[in-house]
Amino acid sequence: MNMVNREMGSEQLQAQARIWNHIFNFVNSMCLKCAIQLGIPDTIHHHGQPMTLDALVSTLQIHPSRGPCIGRLMRILVHSGFFGQQKLAPEGRDAYVLNHMSELLLKDNPLSVVPFALVMLDPILVNPWHCLSAWFRDGVDPTPFEMAQGMSFWRYAGQEPRLSRFFNDGMASDARLVASLVVNEHKGVFDGITSLVDVGGGTGTMAKAIARALPHMECTIFDLPHVVAGLEVSENVRCVPGDMFEAIPPADAILLKWILHDWSDEDGVKILKRCKEAISKSKGEKKRVIIIDMVVDDPAGDREMIETQHFFDMLMMILASGRERNETEWAKLFVTAGFGDYKITPILGLRSLIEVYPS
């Protein structure tokens, strides 16, 4: 009996420890934000060699009394994989180095995730999570964001320059990464296409990258008027302001990068129908809609990737009434919008390249 009680006690303690770990998951996020704001990745990068704690503390612009605490901050950042650590010869002192993750935290890196991290960890976007249980009971506000902030995310972003800038910068850095992979390694998706409209193209990062790689193609950046106002374009790129729910400029192909997950199934069908109308007006022979978005719960995905996709699904519920979809849910969306066949290629990390063809 005592052995059973001890076993039960051990299991309960392990369960408690796991719950505590999940409770404090936010600590990683906040420490990451702190490291970005203090400029730790760039400080180590500019040092040009592995950087000791003493050197890091003396370089950072912090209060002298906070010096010893930097070591504790770096300990968890190293443990979480954001930085590497190595021994310096001959004295064997520990020193910090950048790794693949911290390289993406450099502010001058074209693929930097810093703007995305700062917008997602801003109180404007964090506070709505505290409203989640009230939102479930409420049944009135469309999203927890609207419950917390009094307006939709899109309207708020249009009125708050800082949020809009961080959001646009974050989307642009992601677009640079995705565009480089698509145009360098999967250019075949554009075979036979002479014109393309990037719907919700933001500041044009994706369309411009495609246009540079494929100069024969005419690319259009299509977004809300305040987004595309004043954008600089090249010879084979143009900007068209508008609303994707109303009409989309005609082209051989329509690109929807990280767009449909922002919207409900009903709105997603509306957007896809506008895409179908746009390609039906084109004279091209290789018409298609190209979607870059998540396909969740892929059996081939690892646990961390699937968990991150589930995080994004919850984020869409919090911010924008959207959702991440599995293949069955995507297929239903395509059929309802009047499309025929589709092809999913899981080549973009958390996201897939989806080609949808008219019936």
Sequence-ordered strand ranges (E) for 8-149? 51-52, 84-88, 93-97
What span, in angstroms and rounded, lies between the C-alpha atoms of 97 and 78? 10
Burial profile 32-48: b = 16 or more Cβ within 10 angstroms, e = fewer: bbebbebbbbbbbbebe
Which one of 46, 100, 226, 261 is the catalytic residue?
261
Q: Are 101 and 111 in contact (CB under 8 A)?
A: no
Tokens representing residue 235 in the block: 């010879």
What span, in angstroms and rounded, lies between the C-alpha atoms of 194 and 192? 7
Could you identify the residue written with the tokens 């203090």? 38
* Rg for the chain, CA atoms, rounded: 23
Give, as one character, the DSSP assignment of residue 301: S
Residues in the chain: 359
AA letter at 139: G
Could you identify the residue written with the tokens 């849910």? 329
What span, in angstroms and rounded, lies between the C-alpha atoms of 135 and 133? 5
Which H or E run contains 185?
A: helix 161-185
State yes or no: is 216 an active-site residue.
no
Residue 253 β-bridge partners: 196, 288
The residues assigned a catalytic role are: 261
